[in-house]
Structures are given as C-alpha cells and as structure tokens.
Chains A and B, each alone.
Chain A
Amino acid sequence: MLNALKDVYSVLWVDLRNLRRHWRSTLATSLVQPILYLVAFGYGLGGGINVGGVSYLAFVIPGIVALTSFSASFNGAASKLQVDRFFYKSFDEFLMSPVSLYSIVVGKALIGVVRGLISSGAILLVGFILSPTLMVNPLLLLVLFTSCFVFALFGVLIALVINSHQGMSTFSNLVMLPMTFLCGTFFSLSQLPEAAKAMLYVLPLTHSSESVRAAALGQPFPWLSFLALLGFGIGFFIGCIVALKKASV
C-alpha cells in the first residue's frame, strides 16, 4: 500500500514539475470561462430572479464551482495525458516501469485533481466575496474533492480511449459542452419535464452540481447523488484499467 502511494506520487511528480513551470497561464486559462459565466449569468441575466428562496447569484455560484471542478479536472488530466501519449511519447515509459497500472491511473488523475481544486477553489473564493449566503463546511470540501477526482478519472479515461486531437475536440463539443449548460449548473432541474430530468441524471456533472449546491447553501444533502458520483468514479477507474490492458494487445 505504502509503495503504491509512493508510485502514485512518482507519476504525479513529473506533472507537478510541469505545472510549476506553467501555473500562471494554466490557472488564468481555467478561470476565464467560469468568470465569464459568473458575469453573464449571475449578474447580467439573473439579476433580480429568485430560485427556491435564494438569490440567483447564490444559486448559480455553486453550479459554476461544480462546473469548474469538472472542466479544470477533466482537461487538466486529459490534456497532459494526451501530450504524454502523442506529443512527448513518454507514456510508454510509465508502462515499461515497475509501477502498477492502478498507480499510473491514480497518479495521472491527480494532476487533474490538483488543477481542479486550485481553479474551483479560486472561484469558490470569489463566490464567497460576492455572495455571503454561501457557507464553507467540511462537507463542501469533501464534495469538491470527490468531484475533482471523479472528473479527473473521466479525463484519464477519455484521453486513453480517444486517439487523436480531432477526436478529442469532437468529444468536447458533443459531450462536454452540453454537460456544461445542462447539468443543473445554471438552472434548477426541478423545472424540467421528467424525461429530460431522467436523462440528465445519467451525467455525472448533474450529481456534482446538486451536491455542491446543497452543501454550499446548507440545504438537505442529496446523499444519493453523492453516491452516484462515487459510482461514476469507480466506473471511470475500471474503464481506465481496461483501456490500458487493451492497449497492450
């Protein structure tokens, strides 16, 4: 166990070195979108609206935090892994080392977790300043960390199964973009017809934004959604291992 953790850190180490060199531009890039959303939706669109008893601003900030944990973790893990696989071609070096596939997957996901936590943490900070109704509590931090981990694993999985830059951008337009807007980030799912709701609950970001929002606003916590999120994480992890085993055939 201890050795596996050491291996995980060895895998993460090289990505941390990279991040250390580029952290300013990395952080800036990952904050542009959420801040635009915050301005456009939080102030521009939703100025006077109330959702379920809270101001729209207080409602949308947790959604944007969840969204940031999604995009920053997913992209953070996926983009570095794709670079390793196709640009540096250094990914084989991991596979030829005595480090186990499990440690490789977790280590490769952790750079996404690090980047996701930094970015969503920054947005959370901005959110507290703008909307004092939000609360920081251990549950929120747990949900945020879990979200980042699940989405980072999602990024690793997609970077392992999609073998081209082209495929990656198709995926991001066809799957990630709709998720960004639909998964309960900007509006409450309770307004939707049942069929649409059922479809959106198949997506992990829905569970993340509902959990983050409930924790941040002190509403009853949707444990089922949190469990679903964990389930997605386990599914993605297994998917990664299968993809890696298949790659060597």
Chain B
Amino acid sequence: MGEFIVTEKLTKFYGTVQAVQDLDLQIHSGEIFGFLGPNGAGKTTTIRVMTTLTKPTSGSVRINGFDVVNEPDKVKNVIGVVQQHLSLDRDLTVRENMEFHARLHHLGAAERKKRISELLEYVELADCANRMVDTLSGGMKKRAAIVCSLLHEPKVLFLDEPTVGLDAQGRRRLWDLVRRLNLDGTTIFLTTHYIEEAEALCHRVGIMHHGHLIALDTPEALRKKLGAVAVETLVDNKETRYRFFADRAAAARYVQTLPPNAGTVIIRDSNLEDVFVEQTGEKVGGA
C-alpha cells in the first residue's frame, strides 16, 4: 500500500481567516479515509486544494506523486470529485450530464456510450437516465453526481459530505455504494460531520478542528487510546462528566468507588465523538 495523497505543512488562509494550518497527512491507496470535523473546520478547503480548485497559501499536496499546483493536469486525470453542494446542470438529464463529463475527460464516442450505460447500472440509476436532474430525489441526485465523477475511472474519489440531507435509507444505500467502489479499487477521501458515518465506513479517520488536524488513526485505535469504555455521570442533574477506561472491568471498579448519591451513571463503549470532545472541549455538531 503506497501513499496516494501526501500533504506537507498544507496551509490555507482566506485573507486573514486561517482555514487550514500545517496539515500533514498521508492517504494510503485503497483506503476509505474519513475527514471528520464540525462546520468551518477546514474540510472543504482541504478538498479544494487537493482537487486543484484553490491554491494553498503554503505547503504542498502530491497526489499519485504529482504536485497539485505545478502538475494539475496529471492530478486531474486521477481524481473524481463530488462537491458538497450539487454541481450538476439541472436543466439537463442524468445521461446528458454524464455525457458532458465524459466529453470533458476526452472519452471517445463509443467509450462514452459503454461507460455511461455500465455506470448507470452500477449506481442503480438506469431507470432515471433520461429524467431531468431537477426531478430526482435527493438521494438520486447524489448518486447522479457520483456517477458523473466516475466516468474517467478516477483512482481516488473525493466525497464532500456525501450524505448530508439524505434519509436513513438513502444514507445506507450511499454507504454501500462507497464500499463497493472501494472494493473495486478506488481510494476514497470523504468528509463528514456524522460520527456514525466515520465509524461505520472509514478505515482511518482524521479529525479536524479550526484548521488543525487533532487526531489521526483508525476509529478503533482512536477509541482505544482514549479508553474503549466510557462512564458518564450526571452530576447534580446538570453537568455530565466523562471518564474513560480500557475495559468494562476497570469501568465497573471505578463506578464502585462513586458515592451512592452520585446520580445517574451510564457505562457504554466510547466513540469518536468522545475523542473529539476530549481533544477540543467541544461537540462535533457544535455546542
């Protein structure tokens, strides 16, 4: 497993607003990497730099060995991007949008036709191929956007908050699609502020906060580092206190030491939310 994306001290300022600061990150080829963080953490900015849309203020990004600033054309051939907002031409059909992307990526007529029908099957949109994008449901729009980014068979797919606004079923369906793409060999870089999504889907997770990478590891390891078991105690019915332990036995021993009037006590597995809160003192979803 090589390093497919390498950032070194990546920094981006918008005027005086610091969006990303000294980001050092390696994305392995073949993994599903999750970039987790609250609103304004710098997730989209990082993706925009990686996908050549925005120039970094300082630092560098290499994708597949190519520098995004100096060799953008080499980078563009291996990346597929699904932006946070819908970026389809809503006045065209799904198929026309796909054809448009295929043309932009220099696919010949025969290849276009073949790829388009293959991919429509792959994302289960064959029935809607000739419908206007505007008439599709949110989940279908998202899959249409994904399918447009796949026409040139990118090696890495960037998904910026792909499941925002989808219902539970739509979300699961999208997770399945992402897993399938990954099994078929595509490296995935996705951002999310849903804890469950990062835990359910990602091999490794980087947690961003105010432009800084504050944790980076597998969800497993991040939880273990903190303590796999969490004990929540509600103090005086207003403030919840958290303690973390390596296992349930240790947690149970701690609970025994609590005074009888300690209030409600909950023992549960720790999660990435705990990791974030412990590191920052804030909640991912905003306090």
Interface residues of A (CB under 8 A from B): 3, 6-7, 10-11, 13-14, 17-18, 21-22, 84, 88-90, 92-99, 248-249
Contacts and interface: CB of A to CB of B under 8 A. Distances in A.
5 contacts: A10-B100, A22-B91, A94-B104, A97-B76, A98-B77
A62 B104 CA distance: 39
Interface in B36-87: 51-55, 73, 76-77, 79, 81, 83, 85-87
A94 B105 CA distance: 10
Contact of A13 (B77, B79, B87, B100): B100
Contact of A89 (B83, B101, B104, B106): B83
B198 to A, nearest CB: 25
B100 A88 contact: no
A99 B88 contact: no
Contacts of B54: 248-249
Chief secondary structure at chain B's binding surface: loop
B201 interface: no
Q: What 9 pairs across the A-B complex have the smallest Cβ distances?
A: A97-B104, A10-B103, A14-B100, A89-B87, A98-B76, A90-B87, A90-B89, A89-B85, A88-B89
A9 to B, nearest CB: 8
A10 B107 CA distance: 11
B24 interface: no
B76 A18 contact: no
Contacts of A18: 89, 91-92
B76 A96 contact: yes
A99 B87 CA distance: 17
A113 B100 CA distance: 20
A94 B104 CA distance: 7
Given A17-B92, A92-B53, A98 B105 contact: yes
Nearest to B69: A248
A17 B55 contact: no
A92 B96 contact: no
Nearest to A3: B106
A96 B91 contact: no
Contacts of A98: 73, 76-77, 104-106
Contacts of A14: 89, 92, 96, 100
A95 B54 CA distance: 10
B90 interface: yes
Contacts of B83: 89, 92
Contacts of A97: 76, 101, 104-105
B53 A93 contact: no
Given A7-B104, A10-B104, A97-B76, 4 more contacts: A18-B92, A88-B91, A98-B105, A248-B54
Contacts of B55: 248-249
Contacts of A90: 87-89
A89 B99 CA distance: 18
A129 B89 CA distance: 40
A110 to B, nearest CB: 14
A97 B86 CA distance: 17
B87 A93 contact: yes
A227 B55 CA distance: 37
A124 B92 CA distance: 32
A17 to B, nearest CB: 6
B22 to A, nearest CB: 20
A96 to B, nearest CB: 6
Contacts of B88: 88, 90
A93 B90 contact: no
A99 B90 CA distance: 22
A150 to B, nearest CB: 26
Contacts of B100: 10, 13-14, 17
A169 B73 CA distance: 36
A17 B76 CA distance: 25
B284 to A, nearest CB: 26
A47 to B, nearest CB: 44
B103 A13 contact: yes
Contacts of B103: 10, 13
A92 B77 contact: no
A29 to B, nearest CB: 16
Question: Counting chain B CB atoms within 10 Å of each CB, which of A11, A18, A84, A89 scores highest?
Answer: A89
Question: Counting chain A CB atoms within 10 Å of each CB, which of B51, B53, B87, B105 scores highest?
Answer: B87
Contacts of B76: 96-98
A143 B120 CA distance: 46
Contacts of A21: 91
A164 B53 CA distance: 20
Contact of B101 (A7, A11, A93, A248): A93
Contacts of A95: 52-53
B99 to A, nearest CB: 8
